[in-house]
Amino acid sequence: MAVLGGCTVQGPDGEQQSPVRIELPSGTPSPKSAPPDDKPSAPAAPAAPAVLWKPGDKGRDIRELQARLRQIAWLFDGPTGVYDDLTERAVRGFQGKRGLPKTGRTDRVTWERLLKMTREPGRWDLYLMGGQPADAPDARCLTGRVLCVSKESRTLRWMVDGRTELTVPVRFGSEYTPTREGVFSVYWKSRHHVSTLYDSPMPYAMFFSGGQAVHYSSDFAARGYAGASHGCVNVADEPAIREIFARVRTGDKVVVHW
């Protein structure tokens, strides 16, 4: 038994009594020396993978994401370069099919899984439906009124005295029906033209070389560069070709170049 002392008490007659004794069980630990709780702590939750892209994001990386989703039939539109509702839905479906959290956002785990299942997209996979930047205009386009058509960037510039007023993506003929290159002029305009050779509509046609013309193509608008023309310069943007058609005059120059 442990004994604590040092205090004395006075009796009723003024007689001193024995010191007060307080008995404690031996070996009782103080609160500071109490053993720690033996229960194991819960493991920390794993950190969520970093989100690379999410709805509303834009740019070349989004084009690649969309092009890769197209390769495995999770997306059928685009690429547009905009993380839109269709892209979010495609990502969510891809994630669910592979047991990943269906967030609709592209995190690092989702992206790495997609990379393993697809190939590196080429330039025209990324710009299947247009949207590509135009290259520099040919020197022959820098004077006068010109439809300046680049086969390298697949674009058409409407230019006046060296100034670009409108730019649109265009599509050309296949290797069997190539679009002619060189300097030409618009010799005929036909707003509601229909091809007598292929029995297909050619709205806003501006003929520059035989039966070859710059015109609107609903097939280009629907299929992009997955298709080809019969030699004409196809435009998929109907409001743009309507405006170009209104501005171009018979006799204006057409330059088709690489």
Residues annotated as part of the active site: 215, 232
Helix axes 108-117, 60-71, angle to 10 degrees: 50
Cα 115 from Cα 118, distance rounded (Å): 5
Tell me whether residue 176 is exposed, middle or buried, using C-beta atoms within 10 angstroms of its C-beta: 0 to 12, 13 to 18, 19 or more. Answer: exposed
H or E segment and range at residue 158: strand 155-160
Pairing assessment for the beta strands 2-4 and 188-194 based on DSSP bridges: unpaired
170 and 147 Cβ atoms separated by less than 8 Å: no
- C-alpha R_g of the chain: 39
Count other C-beta atoms under 10 Å from residue 243's C-beta: 16
Tell me whether residue 80 is exposed, middle or buried, using C-beta atoms within 10 angstroms of its C-beta: 0 to 12, 13 to 18, 19 or more. Answer: middle
Nearest to 25 by CA among 50, 1, 60, 56: 1
101 and 74 Cβ atoms separated by less than 8 Å: no
Neighbouring-strand partners of residue 16: 10
Residue spans of alpha helices (H) in 45-168: 60-71, 85-97, 108-117, 123-126
